[in-house]
Structure 1
């Protein structure tokens, strides 16, 4: 019995470090960067895009290769009345031949390059989708930040309303307050409860969206989002445009489309030249009963198509030219939209940063001072109850506006990073 007890204690002791370590791993706080990394690694849409890209990579490996050679086996000039007699006539022979189709010089390389560019387009499409998924994660994270801060403000205001209700009921009991004041503060508290219910539902929806983007269970808990600090963007619009030209996958994809159209035009022009089929045959003959030696023979030849259907080939060239013009205009449209989007994002960033600074450094402290003064005056009967309640609700709205400005600033910053295709440090 003692041995069994000692073994149990030893086993439990040895298992404790692993258990503690596992709990430590599970308790690692969830961060925005961690969620982004999980989304980029696990999201099924990204995995589907990767598989689609691999499809085109494998197609590129097939493009530009030779067709399989053709093997021919036959009997030539056999007699119908004795089909298996190969020594009755000196013209009868057993034939084996091989042929190979060879495209005109340059066609295979152009076909391979076209397929490789098609795969490049899919790769840049994959990278663009990763940027979009990352932006969606950051957007939901910052929306959740605003909801969490609003819930904290509501909790604080409910406590203040409870204190105010207690004070109003006390003053009402001694005849220094009206019954409508008591009812009004109760009404405001009920409104806060209604807002808290709505925000909690909104938080569950945003948390589920974050989890789904990271391919986690939708009900997986998301902890309260920590505070963020506003970092101004000091890069000017011209530099941001240059960053986008260097890093934005969408532009790279459009440029690949443009190059592919040029390759397709060259390939269409090469189609005006024929493709060749080279063939070689060996004919084995038997000595005949009539004294013929039955010498073996061979034949070699080349055949090629006659590219006389000019109308079809001219249409192929015109199609490639149209695709090139379309790609060029799409690139110009991208650049034009990029200029506006960058200018608009910078303007909204500046507005939200200024608003946040104004709320934090001026409006909210002033509103807090107004509330404290109104409450102090109300306690001694020198202020109306509505002044106190209005001051408290004004402070509540200003605090919510501040955190919404902070969240909006962070979302616009994430949008700007998605526009240029890289992180802004």
Structure 2
């Protein structure tokens, strides 16, 4: 007896590290807001875009600066036979210093600054657009992982159910009330479930690796569980969402700045028909000359001058005007195309959200409870030989497919909502005009007052 107690004690000591390890590797639930913040803070592509914006912002600071003045020093009219005689022998010999400054035509510097500012501003809004796109990708991957986890849970439940069904079939066969083929069919269905389980686990690993890529962390970083969520119901109309998008969407603001840049570039091109100037000042230091042949007091002299280019190349300047006009037209047409795409995306996504929400309500409130009752009845009837094995398997498969459709619709709803937020350029879930409800056939929808929906356009995740 003493040896047996010692053996049990040693076995408990050996198992204790395993228990502790299994508790340590249990991962906490993942928070979507934290994941999005991490992606925005760490994603290298976004950091590259920010560096690009800083580059153009500093270029804008240089745009209106004058060129550096030019300083000049020369020895003028030296006598060739006396190259090192800098004065005193010839009245035309002099030491000259001078300075010159290039001055563009009036108004060019201000327009250059305007062009550079518009370009830098467009890149700044491109960063905000990239943040929206990155947020959308993180959210979509997050909800795809949630759906895969739910599918794996369904498979675990079905594996247990198939095990119970196989046990019933074996019991019936052992007493001569069943056929051996039912046992084989149950084993085959279980193998199919295991095959699906392997595929889904691989899919989850791939999705987790993609999310780690977006968050710029090691690809093998484990990803924890995802808590269940309720479906937000959007009460804003398509027209209201379009107004929010036209006001908040960063890409629209970026294209507006590019259009303004094109208009400013055209004004700058028109200024090229006027000359630029160069102002210069020179001062001559002369030496007194007193020889038998020449007498000169050697008074110092100065020279003031202005030079300017002659803008005779009309074709080149006209082409610059046409280039700037084309840039403006291109930006405006891209802006019109984007607005058209936003309107289509909003209307199409709202229709899909409505369909998915109704499907969730239908599955939760009707189809799945009925399928569960049908399967339960089929199991009971199979025990007493009132239904055949195929009917039992058909009931199990129907419930399996309906549960998958439920989770797929929930995940798809949230992914479409993420796409809608990216199209609108605003976080719709945190807006006061958004009502959070749990889809249920028995739960009536709450109607919000105009006071609750009024400030919707004032809230946005990205400014």
Residue matched to 2:195: 194
Secondary structure, aligned partner of 2:296: coil
Could you report, residue by residue, the CA deviation over 1:227-246 in whole angstroms, capped at 9, with x for unpaired residues?
Answer: 11111111100110011111
Tell whether the 8 Å contact from 2:29 to 2:225 is kept in structure 1 after alignment: no
Residue matched to 1:174: 175
Q: How many corresponding residue pairs?
A: 402
CA distance in 1, matches of 2:187, 2:163: 8
| Post-superposition offset of 1:292 | 2.1
Residue matched to 1:82: 82
| Post-superposition offset of 1:408 | 0.3
Task: Give the counterpart of 1:337 among 323, 332, 341.
Answer: 341
Residue matched to 2:138: 137
Q: 2:313 matched to 1:301? A: no
CA distance in 2, matches of 1:417, 1:108: 40
Tell whether the 8 Å contact from 2:27 to 2:225 is kept in structure 1 after alignment: no
Could you report, residue by residue, the CA deviation over 1:307-364 in whole angstroms, capped at 9, with x for unpaired residues?
Answer: 1111111111111111111111111111111111100000000000000110011000
Residue matched to 1:405: 409
Residue matched to 1:391: 395
Secondary structure, aligned partner of 2:64: coil
Tell whether the 8 Å contact from 2:29 to 2:227 is kept in structure 1 after alignment: no
Between 1:191-200 and 1:64-73, the stretch displaced more is 64-73
Q: 2:361 matched to 1:360? A: no
Give the alignment's TM-score, normalised by structure 2.
Answer: 0.85
- After superposing on structure 2, the runs of 4+ consecutive aligned residues of structure 1 that deviate more than 3 Å are 26-29
Unpaired stretches in structure 1, ≥5 consecutive residues: 1-23
CA distance in 2, matches of 1:164, 1:71: 98
CA distance in 2, matches of 1:80, 1:30: 88
Unpaired stretches in structure 2, ≥5 consecutive residues: 1-23, 430-463
Q: How does 1:8-407 map to 2 (within 5 A)?
A: 29-85=29-85, 86-290=87-291, 291-407=295-411
| Post-superposition offset of 1:29 | 4.1
Could you report, residue by residue, the CA deviation over 1:7-43 in whole angstroms, capped at 9, with x for unpaired residues?
Answer: xxxxxxxxxxxxxxxxx9x986431111000000000
Secondary structure, aligned partner of 2:231: coil
CA distance in 2, matches of 1:352, 1:186: 35
| Post-superposition offset of 1:84 | 2.4
Secondary structure, aligned partner of 2:92: coil
